[in-house]
Amino acid sequence: MPEVTIIKYNAGNVKSVMIALERIGASYLLSDDPEEILQAERIIFPGVGEASTAMASLRKNGLDQIIPTLTQPFLGTCVGMQLLCSSSEEGNVDCLNVFDIPIKKFPETTGFKIPQTGWNNIFDYNSEILNQIKPDSYVYYNHGFYAPLSKYTVAKTDYILEYSAMLQKDNFYACQFHSEISGDTGEQIFRNFLNIKI
């Protein structure tokens, strides 16, 4: 069994995730098969794209019913994180409700471009998946929607307002940034994820 199963659906920065895993010597499987996902050792749920379209793709294969029930270590990135929340203002769609918080659109604010694209720092860490990450490390973002601060927030970012850079609930971990292209910081997050025991 590969160390990581990557969920295949109609929104994924899959190639970059594969390259990141190869770089740290991790084996992986790309799958949209519910049985393979249920049997996976640990799961990465990548995301690039639009929330309502991505949710439609998950529903097509019944993955919307399976994902919230999973008990193995699970890491969502970017849109993958947003889909784990209760709903998204992007397409006004109901999502997976692992984290019972809504995804909001950034407010239009003078001096800030939307989407946020580029490097920004994270702070106020509170999770084992961020072990050995230096304070105020920089990661790469590309998004116009955000998760508000909540009881699930385990790292923060500030752009227009403070919001959740990372969320955690039980076995579910999620990052708004693209950990797969966030340099040494993203690589360490992947290494930490591979070491998580549930």
- Which residues are annotated as catalytic? 78, 178, 180
- Tell me the residue type at 58: L
Dihedral (Cα; 23, 25, 27, 31), 10-degree rounding: -20
| Number of domains making up the chain | 1
Residue pLDDT, tens place only, 152-169: 999 999 999 999 999 999
Residue 1 has pLDDT above 70, yes or no: no
Residues spanned by the domain of 109: 4-195
pLDDT of amino acid 10: 72
Contact 198, 31 (CB under 8 A): no
The CATH number that applies at residue 86 is: 3.40.50.880
pLDDT of amino acid 144: 94
What are the start-end ranges of the H helices in the chain? 14-23, 34-39, 51-60, 63-66, 79-83, 183-195
Residue pLDDT, tens place only, 89-129: 999 999 999 999 999 999 999 899 999 999 999 999 999 99
Residue pLDDT, tens place only, 179-190: 999 999 999 999
Encoded tokens for 91: 């397409």
**Mean of the per-residue pLDDT values of the chain:** 94
Residue 122: exposure state from Cβ atoms within 10 A (0-12, 13-18, ≥19): buried
Encoded tokens for 29: 């499987």
